[in-house]
Amino acid sequence: GWNHVVEKMETEKSWDFDQVFGAKAGAMGHRGQLVLGKIEGKLVWIMAGRFHTYEGYDSEEVTRPIQALAKLGVKNLILTAAAGGLNQEFTVGDIVILSDLLDLFCQSPLKGNSFQDLSQPFDSELRTIALEICQKEGINFQKEGVYAYMRGPHYESFADKKALQNLGADCVGMSTVPETIMANYLGLKVLGLSCITNLAFVKHSHQEVVAAGEKQSRSMVILLQSIIKKMEN
């Protein structure tokens, strides 16, 4: 989603990840840039890409961009990600507004006595804004869903997916959760959006996942721009 937003925004400056963080984004389809610019007259920082634990980083390293953004004064964080649909009502192309997370398989990015409450990991006001925009713009969406984290890079087995369904997960992916935990710890308001790029019990490849995400890029651009417009500074 953010790659296409970057193409349409008023860019002031951009840096490759390795210039800022000392490493490149390794996932296919990730631009690997930190971009400063304006959307709807508001100054925004965009991470066009991210790091993943399956690339060999630990959870704390994955969240260092979030820590940097917090130090720069960022107060609101919008996380986007591709996800596999576990809820049988979901279809490929749906945008899911995340309501909660399942992090049983995620190493915490926090250390020591950092006992962070996660009873409401995603901000209710930002979720309401996203919901209203989806309804107004006619975007295919699911009102809410629980996101489950799996490390990857292999996709989940059918047994994994069945177990996650039974635990209450609606979609599953390999990111978002470490960043959400760290952002909550740092006091940021978080909105999570996932695009369903494949269904649970159908064989798929990473190329198919990327292609499905590209097909929904226009809807995601409209949604992200509209959310930023309605956000408080």
SS3 content of the chain, % helix, strand, coil (to 5): 35, 25, 40
Average pLDDT, the chain: 88
Segments forming the whole domain that contains residue 38: 2-230
pLDDT at residue 142 in the model: 77
Please count the structural domains in the chain.
1
pLDDT at residue 32 in the model: 83
User: Using only C-alpha atoms, what is the Rg of the chain?
Assistant: 16
Checking if the pLDDT of 4 tops 80, the result is no
Domain at 191, CATH number: 3.40.50.1580
Measured distance CA(162)–CA(97) in Å, rounded = 22
Checking if the pLDDT of 14 tops 70, the result is yes
- Three-state DSSP at 33 gives strand
pLDDT at residue 9 in the model: 81
217-229 residue pLDDT tens: 778 888 988 999 9
- Of 22-26, 35-39, 213-217, which gets the smallest average pLDDT? 213-217
Higher pLDDT, 215 or 85: 85
For residue 209, give the DSSP letter. H
pLDDT at residue 5 in the model: 73
Number of H helices, E strands in the chain: 9, 8
Per-residue CA distances from 87 to 123, 153, 158, 212, 219 (Å)? 22, 22, 14, 18, 21
Average of per-residue pLDDT across 167-180:
97
pLDDT at residue 63 in the model: 96
Per-residue CA distances from 44 to 85, 127, 149, 205 (Å)? 30, 19, 27, 33
User: Parallel, antiparallel, or unpaired: how do β-strands 95-102 and 171-173 relate?
Assistant: unpaired
39-98 residue pLDDT tens: 888 999 999 889 999 999 999 999 999 999 999 999 999 999 989 999 999 988 899 999
Average of per-residue pLDDT across 124-133:
95
